Amino acid sequence: MHVGLRKGFSNFSSNSNMMNSWNQKNLLQQTYSSNHVHEVLIIPHDDIYAGGWSVAFNIGEASIGLDYEVRKATEKEYEVALDFLALAFSKSREYFIEYESLPWFRYNREKWIGLLGGKIISNVDLFTREIFIGKSPILVGDIGHVATHPSYRNLGYGSELIKNVLREMDRKCYNISFLFGGDNVYHFYDKMGWVAFPEKIVNVEIRRETELTNPNLEMEKLEGGKDFNDVIELYNKYDRQITGSTVRTHEYWLRYRDWMIKEPNFILLWREKGDPVACSLCEGGSTGLRILWICYDRKNDQILSSILKGIINYAIKNKYRYINVGFLPLDHPILKILKMMPVETVCRNNNNMMVRLINVKSLFEKILPELEERLNRSNLKGLKRSITIECEIGNVTITIYDNEVKVEGRREDAVHIPLDKKSLVKLILGHTTFEKIDQYIEISRKIGLTDKDIKLMSALFPKQYPIHWNYGHY
């Protein structure tokens, strides 16, 4: 037996056409005697339940059914979930087995499932990662393989599962969540609080046969992990302070090293007069080359330009037809650099990436050292000010006093700045500055922000581009 849900409905169902559970009988009686029953709905069962039925009573407010159980999957259930995912995504079981073999996929992952009558009808995989916001690490919960059994869609089961995972993330002080959806699931995630984060997919078409002149850097393909310590050192030097880049611990390198250098992946190490200055992780397909990660001194656009030229030359030599440069913020500097090169690029916008802030207070507590450093770098030292950021996801007050930054909850005496969740995400991730957010003019007019307030917000949230954003998570 199971009890399900449909918007505003309380559902009852049975395989045996018998109401033999005390709870369900009780709920049935209560529902029948309720003044709020507007409508009754019969939902026939599917293959999982081999027939049977559900009855849904519209009682005006949504409450998930009695035996829709949401919990983390046990080891054994990971196997069962493979069959479930194959069915839910209309793909082969092997497709999902292949995923399971990837070290980044299995790493720090929890599977959450929704069960009806003990059978899996919904699935979410939660991947726990850490990324840097400047020098401060924050906790990320990426979600993937979100699915409900085709016969149980639009009944609220998927939302209920996600809500449970969100509650868990909030409780455990996760700070941000990324996912890759698509047009068909945009509304589903939008309602759950994720915001679309438009990116550009950039391909460089390789039509030429002559290599570009690139006198600056020497390139070496790392074979069998040779010089891998140089890669770790470059990461420590250039990526550890970059917003959006993955926190890579010793354990991380041990786990990922082989994956990074195993075909079709490979690492190119870039040297200047013999010294390593940059590295790039690529994936070679049958016709195209994909850049997964570039680690370099981001203050030096010249070096990025040289690496790109070097990779284009590598692609020409190895007869690749195109290079996928990745998913980039719409105004990423790499786009300008490519425009200046004698190559053809094809760009298209993509809205698949969605981001959601989770526990905002804990987020600001974690980035406090970075905020302090940003304040120290500004000419606003000595300023005394409290700003409460009001956002539907959570409120937080940043107080600047005696060159120190304090983070606390909402404060009545602070300057209140209302930010929608998209603007706050963008400021945190360094994709925009305060003066460029959509609501800026409206906010400054309404609140009468002073010059100092605006300067303070700009100092606390400077623009800082990540590169190869999504792959950076691995």
Ligand X SMILES: CC(C)(COP(=O)(O)OP(=O)(O)OC[C@H]1O[C@@H](n2cnc3c(N)ncnc32)[C@H](O)[C@@H]1OP(=O)(O)O)[C@@H](O)C(=O)NCCC(=O)NCCS
Where on the chain is the footprint of ligand X (CB under 6 A)?
A: 5-7, 62, 88-89, 146-148, 153-159, 181, 185, 187-188, 191
CB of 173 to ligand X, least distance (A): 25
CB of 195 to ligand X, least distance (A): 14
The CA-based angle 226-229-230, given to 5 degrees, is 90
Contacts 24+ apart (CB under 8 A), 32-39: 32/57, 34/59, 36/60, 38/8, 39/9
Minimum CB distance to ligand X smaller for 62 or for 335: 62
Task: Classify strands 394-401 and 344-350 as parallel, antiparallel or unpaired.
Answer: unpaired
Minimum CB distance to ligand X smaller for 78 or for 89: 89
Across the beta sheet with 415-418, what order do the strands follow?
Answer: 404-408, 394-401, 385-391, 415-418
Cα dihedral across residues 153, 155, 156, 161: positive or negative: negative
Backbone φ, ψ for residue 329 (5° rounding): -55, 150
3-state SS of 109-126 is EEEEEEEECCEEEEEEEE
Minimum CB distance to ligand X smaller for 158 or for 326: 158
How many helices (DSSP H) and strands (DSSP E) are in the chain? 15, 21
- 392 by DSSP, 3-state: which? coil
Minimum CB distance to ligand X smaller for 172 or for 191: 191
H-run or E-run covering 385:
strand 385-391
CB of 124 to ligand X, least distance (A): 8
CB of 166 to ligand X, least distance (A): 13
CB of 149 to ligand X, least distance (A): 8
CB of 70 to ligand X, least distance (A): 12
Minimum CB distance to ligand X smaller for 162 or for 261: 162
Minimum CB distance to ligand X smaller for 33 or for 184: 184
CB of 5 to ligand X, least distance (A): 5
CB of 153 to ligand X, least distance (A): 3
What contacts 12, CB < 8 A, 6 or more positions away?
Answer: 1, 3, 19, 24, 27, 28, 54, 55, 56, 57, 65
CB of 452 to ligand X, least distance (A): 43
CB of 158 to ligand X, least distance (A): 2
DSSP string, 167-181: HHHHHTT--EEEEE-
CB of 65 to ligand X, least distance (A): 10
Residue 55's DSSP bridge partners are 12, 42
Alpha-helical regions (H) of 2-61: 22-33
CB of 398 to ligand X, least distance (A): 34
Residue 379 per-residue DSSP state = T
Query: Taking Cα atoms as reference points, which of 218, 232, 205 lies closest to residue 287?
Result: 205
Minimum CB distance to ligand X smaller for 134 or for 156: 156
Distances (CA, A) of 364 to 51, 360, 372, 378: 51, 6, 11, 19
Minimum CB distance to ligand X smaller for 159 or for 246: 159
Residue nearest to ligand X (CB): 158
Minimum CB distance to ligand X smaller for 88 or for 367: 88
H-run or E-run covering 340:
none
Task: Classify strands 288-295 and 322-329 as parallel, antiparallel or unpaired.
Answer: parallel
Distances (CA, A) of 422 to 159, 356, 407, 426: 21, 8, 21, 6
CA distance 369 to 379: 17
Tell me whether residue 413 is exposed, middle or buried, using C-beta atoms within 10 angstroms of its C-beta: 0 to 12, 13 to 18, 19 or more: exposed
Residue 73 per-residue DSSP state = P
Euclidean distance between the first and the last CA atom of the chain, given in angstroms as a whole number: 42
Minimum CB distance to ligand X smaller for 88 or for 113: 88
Minimum CB distance to ligand X smaller for 85 or for 456: 85
Minimum CB distance to ligand X smaller for 78 or for 188: 188
